[in-house]
Structure 1
């Protein structure tokens, strides 16, 4: 059975609803942004069911090549179903139960009407305890897969901007970062820059690659703009201009 992390109160409520859905034969819709755990929750509800991509499923229904009857299935990206009437007729004719997944609530009303229960999973920035548990899970995973000693939480880079997708990547990067030095960092930068050099203003266009990390590190370490300006060797007016230019990245 696939794990759905539920340490926060709201996640525990969602998991309780999922347990109910294991026992009752109704259609349900799971909503949430990418990386919030929709597939994990769907597999928790239907651990033995296959996951179908909506577009491919619709094509297979249209081509009449599916041999499904009296089954429960998981449908990912249900919002991409376009021939609603064909899809609904197929569900009815074959007695198919659906646990559906969608990144958006913007669904056709006929489609919305088939779901008895909607479960909406919040982003990780609203699930602090879940995030801590996921950090620990991904840290153990990275340590095992990369065959590296587990590193302290203070050294982990935690990026939840894209929920678990970015979080897992940032934790793995934290482990890899422990194995690389200045030479490798410069090598990675050179590769990235060489692939993105274009036009006649490359220096201006790509300078943020150096300046944003430097500004972020400095503002975290020195706290006040006076100290940041002093240690970077900038006057405060120049520092304020740079902070304004990069405010969306800091």
Structure 2
């Protein structure tokens, strides 16, 4: 079973609470963004529990397809349950212990009454030590799976917008990027554009695919807009306009 990484202080506190939950028979809710480790933590609390998708579990209960009594289960994405009363009655009638996960901040109040404790897992941006360990883990994994030498950390392109999900994908991409050249990059762009080419303003629609990564790279490499404009061969007014146009993507 995959371990819940807890090197950061806030993660250590969450793991300590999870350890206590292993020995007490109460319902618990695990809240957090996508990719923060909710299911991993739930499996840590109840290692032998069956994992159910909330929507599928509700359908099985409605159709009377499930026969479980006096067991612990994990319900993933409990915010997707539409018949809350049905699920709670089934839990109570069959003496089920539930560890549930959710990314919803506005969960049905009846669920909030059901769960005795809530564990809130912060995003990786607030867990610096955990991020380092996950980066090392995914880097080792990518090197082994792709059968290439490990690349130095400074060459890894790290995307944590979806926490561990996007981090893992970006690290694999970093390894793949090391093996491709300009011809392959142009081929990828050509195939993407070919599949999505439509409308009467395609040139303008696709221009951001070139401009955004170039502007991002320039912002990282040069200390000021003056230096960016000089090395990109643009005047400062043109550069400023482009930065404003692509502000949301930068």
Query: Which range, TM-score by smaller chain?
Result: over 0.9
* 1:166 and 2:166 are equivalent in the alignment: yes
Equivalents in 2 of 1:122, 1:178: separation in Å?
Answer: 32
Name the SS for the 1:228 alignment partner. Answer: helix
**Is contact 1:157-1:170 (8 Å) kept?**
yes
State the match for 2:195 in structure 1: 195
Displacement after TM superposition at 1:2 (Å): 2.3
Written as runs of structure 1 = structure 2, the 5 A alignment for 1:114-129 is: 114-129=114-129
Q: Over aligned residues, Cα RMSD in angstroms? A: 0.9
The alignment partner of 1:167 has SS state of helix
Work out the CA distance in 2 between the residues paired with 1:237 and 1:107. Answer: 48
Alignment of 1:82-231 (within 5 A): 82-231=82-231
Distance in 2 (CA, whole Å) between partners of 1:229 and 1:86 is 62
CA shift, 1:34, in A, is 0.5
3-state SS of 1:40 partner: helix
Alpha-carbon shift at residue 153 of structure 1 (Å) = 0.3
Give the equivalent residue in structure 1 for 2:238.
238
Shift of residue 193, structure 1, vs aligned partner: 1.0
CA distance in 1, matches of 2:202, 2:125: 35
Where 1:194 maps in the other structure, the secondary structure is helix
Deviations 1:156-210 (A, max 9, x none): 0111011111100000000001111111001001011111211111111110000
Distance 1:41 1:126 in 2: 17
1:37-56, aligned counterparts within 5 Å?
37-56=37-56
The answer to whether the 8 Å contact 1:2/1:47 transfers is no
User: Structure 1 residue runs of 4+, over 2 Å off?
Assistant: none
> How far did residue 105 of structure 1 move?
2.6
Flag the 1:24–1:249 CA change in 2: closer, same or farther, 3 A.
same
Residue equivalent to 2:4: 4
1: CA distance between counterparts of 2:176 and 2:199?
33
The 3-state SS of whatever aligns with 2:249 is coil
Cα distance in 1 between the residues matched to 2:151 and 2:144 = 12
| TM-score for both structures, normalised by structure 1 | 0.98
Matches of 1:175 and 1:2, distance apart in 2: 23
Tell me how far apart the structure 1 counterparts of residues 222 and 92 of structure 2 sit (CA, whole Å): 64
Does the 8 Å CA contact 1:52/1:73 hold for their aligned counterparts? yes
Q: Deviations over 1:6-39 (max 9, x none)?
A: 1110000000000001111100000001111101
Alpha-carbon separation, structure 2, partners of 1:156 and 1:174: 5
> Aligned pairs, how many?
250
String of CA shifts for 1:102-159, please: whole Å, max 9, x gaps: 0113122222111111001111111111111110010011111111111110110111
CA distance in 1, matches of 2:64, 2:180: 53
